[in-house]
Amino acid sequence: MLRTALRNVFAHKARLLMTMLAVLLGVAFVAGTLVFTATISDAYKKSSQQGFTNVDVAIQRDDDDSDDRPSGVPDFTQRTLEQAAALPGAKSATGDASGFAALADKDGKLVGDGWATNGGNYYAGPDGKGTDPRYDMKRGKAPTRAGEIAIDWKTADRTGYKVGDTARMSVDGPVRDEKITGVFKTDDGNVAAGGSLVLFDNTTAQRLFTKPGEYTKINIQAKSGVTQAQLKREADKILPRDAEAETGKTLADDEAKEIENNLSGMQTAMLAFAGIALFVGIFIIANTFTMLVAQRTKELALMRAVGASRRQVTRSVLIEALLVGVVAGVVGLGAGVGIGAGLRALVGKLGEMPDGPLIISPSTVLTSMVVGIVVTVLAAWLPARRAAKIPPVAAMGSMHAPSSTRSLVVRNTIGALFAGAGIALVLYATSMDDGKAPLGLGAGLLLIGVFVLTPLLSRPLIAASAPVLRLFNVSGKLARQNAVRNPRRTAATASALMIGLTLITGLTVIAGGIQNAIDKMASDSLKADYTVSMANFSPLSTDVEKTLQKQPEVTTTSALRTVRATVKGDVKDLTGVNGKTIGDLTSLDWKKGSFAGLSGGRNAVVDEDAAKDQGWKVGSHFTATFQDGKKEQFTISGLYKGNEMIKGIMVDNASVTPHMHKVTDMQVMAKTKGGATSATKDSLEKALGDNPAVVVQDKEDLSESIAQFINIMLNVLYGLLAMAVIVAVLGVINTLAMSVFERSQEIGMLRAIGLDRRGIKRMVRLESLVISLFGGVLGIGLGVFFGWAAGDMIGSSIDTYELVLPWGRMAIFLALAAVVGVLAALWPARRAAKLNMLAAIKSE
């Protein structure tokens, strides 16, 4: 039997190629997705990893807010550091003073945009003459005084800065021109990913990031022979208030866990894609083998007639599947790695992808091979059993192309149950506050239900295309009838496309709604023409507001400051605003009261949701305990409707500034004469020193910057789904080619009685178009439904959210489905037109 199977594989090269291609694609799709997701996950993981190699014990802020005041910015003094260094088990100790630091490249652009751009201290020992064990100077020397910096080696490579160059940078707003004195090596993950790290001398770093003489963290290195636990016990004795000591191992473990958590959402999404890939892959393979066996009915019946047993027939089909699976699995894995690499390069071009090696994990290889081999064999199992049941007489009779005669009743019942349950769950989810789980489950059920029901749906939906197809005369009529001829096959072909389009449409609908909501928020709640902030929302120097106020075109400004305070035992962020001007810069929906009375006083305004939580009314009082331990009492003077941009408790800056450890702004709002124009924006940017780190945004920029994020996400998803579409195209080609092959006698007859080549081609193309559009319509319809349901849930947390149907994009998707149909039919149609018509007439 093995020989027969082998012969079979090689005897029909075209058929073999088609089958191989189907399996190969399925495997490539799965492997590509797995490689891509593993690569991305790994790169992101590395990017958020800090080296803990030189840290045995760290003294850091205790995040536990058991106190009645929020733990503030840590303040480890030089004394603590020296105490730590003097611990019997300590070899050395360094202090961290770090924070945001933006560096401009030679063209004035922000280096490492999208990644963390950090600044830190070079701690050269208490006397300032030693070396910092954390940073190894590769070239030049460490910074020793204000005006000098060292940059990391990757940034040096990326920007082309050399020792001795002057670089423009910014830490909290004002522009600084610094001389580069050194380039250092670091294993910091963020730097490896694409961020930057700039080192200042210790004093300057403290002035910029903490306060003179203070550190955010103290790192201790153990003497050889001293364990981390021993060192920790020693360090525990010198801990200041609100601080804790942790071993390097605990820190590394915690970090790993945290990274894992942060990435879990992404990994779930990626796994979902891999799952879809697997599903589509399995589908194409099963479909192909079913057709393959159907085509070979006669051949297999002949084998039965000459004495092969059922088991032998089954086995020959399975062996064939195994051979195909192994070869296609290996080739598909290779192709998948290529796809993964290509996708990464594509996403990398969008600038949102950390550097990192291509990850081909054993599980990727294993999964791909399992898909290739096991799925192929399993997919061949049912057809093989069917093949074995072919009666030997079938070899004798001439037969028409087999049409599915098995009843669809069971299938339809199951499908209807699934779809019904799915719809019910989705609807139920939209009525819940947090219906993610039922929504996901419902969506899954509905998708499966529709998928099972596709054969049933194919008839009415394709019948609906009749008026259009009538324009194409006989070709159109025959195309339509051929499309519904084998509902199972049509359904299987359309499904691959349907799944892809469902996801694409759903995501687009949600993204469109969110985009719209953000636009609305920005235009509804802001009166300010500009907001000024740091590139990554790190604190802004108060000088920025002063500079803005000096500009002739600026009429009104307000700085926004965020302060943590404990209110009724909970830590809250209080937003400090300029009580005099804030009313001119924002437009809030007041339920009661207003900004009036905020200025200078001990009043506060709060959004109604927060007020409801706390049971506050206008006139209620509350006490806030600040980080410095002092308390203030506030009276509620206004209630407004909050949104994603403005919400929470707002008080006057005068009430919070005295309690801030270091006075900085989060944002400055400004209004200008004549509103927002590009000239005004240029002039403001210039006034702020063309600073790479400071972002001046008008309302449009604001929504655009958020939109950009959404768009990048959409692009990545489109990229992944594009693969699903490619696979769908090949699936359609496969089905059509096989159908043409099956119907060659019919086609020959049609040619004989006078349908010309063009008519035949048109018939095949229209059939393909109809099937593709069928899949497209189903997919887009489902996508809109899911988008609506998910949006409804989002809408409960974003007030301005409303369903916006992206008609333009939906039209594009439908056109895409049509293009898929036309492209997929190119080759099968040519093949059909070239068929020898005598084949039909010569009796077998």
List of residues contacting other proteins (CB under 8 A): 398, 400-401, 403, 473-474, 477-478, 481-482, 485, 745-746, 748-757, 759, 837-838, 840-844
Q: How far apart are CA 296 and CA 274, in angstroms?
A: 33
Least distance from other proteins to the Cβ atom of residue 741, Å: 15
- Cβ closer to other proteins: 402 or 658? 402
- Cβ closer to other proteins: 485 or 602? 485
Least distance from other proteins to the Cβ atom of residue 472, Å: 11
Least distance from other proteins to the Cβ atom of residue 401, Å: 7
Q: How far apart are CA 755 and CA 758, in angstroms?
A: 8
Handedness of CA 810, 815, 819, 825 (dihedral sign): positive
Q: 540: which DSSP letter? A: B
- Cβ closer to other proteins: 403 or 705? 403
503, 64 Cβ separation under 8 angstroms: no
Least distance from other proteins to the Cβ atom of residue 295, Å: 16
Structure tokens at 402: 């087999």
- Cβ closer to other proteins: 134 or 489? 489
- Cβ closer to other proteins: 409 or 753? 753
CB-based burial, 787-824: b 16+ in 10 Å, e otherwise:
bbbbbbbebeebbbbeebebeebbeebbebbeebbeeb
User: Cβ atoms within 10 A of the Cβ of 494, count?
Assistant: 33
- Cβ closer to other proteins: 212 or 402? 402
Least distance from other proteins to the Cβ atom of residue 767, Å: 11
- Cβ closer to other proteins: 669 or 750? 750
Least distance from other proteins to the Cβ atom of residue 464, Å: 18
Least distance from other proteins to the Cβ atom of residue 483, Å: 10
- Cβ closer to other proteins: 216 or 745? 745
- Non-local (6+) Cβ contacts of 286 within 8 A are 375, 379, 382, 492
Structure tokens at 464: 């609906």
89, 223 Cβ separation under 8 angstroms: yes
Least distance from other proteins to the Cβ atom of residue 755, Å: 5
Residues written for the chain: 844
Q: How far apart are CA 728 and CA 597, in angstroms?
A: 64
Q: How far is Cα of residue 397 from the mean position of the Cα atoms in its chain? A: 57
- Cβ closer to other proteins: 241 or 400? 400
Q: How far apart are CA 97 and CA 99, in angstroms?
A: 7
Paired residues of 57 in beta bridges: 220, 247
Based on its alpha-carbon atoms, the radius of gyration of the chain, rounded to whole angstroms, reads 34
From first CA to last CA, the distance across the chain in angstroms is 27
CA-closest candidate to residue 159, choices 105, 235, 99: 105
Q: How far apart are CA 842 and CA 844, in angstroms?
A: 6
Least distance from other proteins to the Cβ atom of residue 391, Å: 18
- Cβ closer to other proteins: 552 or 754? 754
Least distance from other proteins to the Cβ atom of residue 396, Å: 12
Least distance from other proteins to the Cβ atom of residue 386, Å: 20
Paired residues of 559 in beta bridges: 668
83, 578 Cβ separation under 8 angstroms: no
- Cβ closer to other proteins: 261 or 398? 398
- Cβ closer to other proteins: 750 or 793? 750
Handedness of CA 25, 483, 294, 15 (dihedral sign): negative
Q: What is the enclosing helix (H) or strand (E) of 334? A: helix 310-349
Least distance from other proteins to the Cβ atom of residue 703, Å: 54
Least distance from other proteins to the Cβ atom of residue 768, Å: 16
Least distance from other proteins to the Cβ atom of residue 751, Å: 7
Q: The tokens 């996901």 sit on which residue?
A: 440
User: Cβ atoms within 10 A of the Cβ of 24, count?
Assistant: 27
Least distance from other proteins to the Cβ atom of residue 404, Å: 12
Least distance from other proteins to the Cβ atom of residue 809, Å: 36
- Cβ closer to other proteins: 69 or 489? 489
Secondary structure class of 812 (helix, strand, coil) = helix
Least distance from other proteins to the Cβ atom of residue 434, Å: 51
CA-closest candidate to residue 301, choices 405, 402, 399, 387: 387
CB-based burial, 166-184: b 16+ in 10 Å, e otherwise:
ebbbbbbbbbbebebbbbb
Strand pairing class (217-222; 90-96) = antiparallel
- Cβ closer to other proteins: 16 or 763? 763
- Cβ closer to other proteins: 398 or 678? 398
Secondary structure class of 528 (helix, strand, coil) = coil
- Cβ closer to other proteins: 51 or 402? 402
Q: Left, alpha or beta for 620 (phi > 0: left; psi -120 to 50: alpha)?
A: beta
How far apart, in Å, are the Cα atoms of 559 and each of 593, 784, 834? 22, 42, 76
CA-closest candidate to residue 331, choices 292, 372, 291, 359: 372
User: Cβ atoms within 10 A of the Cβ of 471, count?
Assistant: 8
Phi, psi dihedral angles at 167 (to 5 degrees): -120, 145
- Cβ closer to other proteins: 485 or 681? 485
- Non-local (6+) Cβ contacts of 281 within 8 A are 25, 26, 27, 29, 30, 371, 375, 727
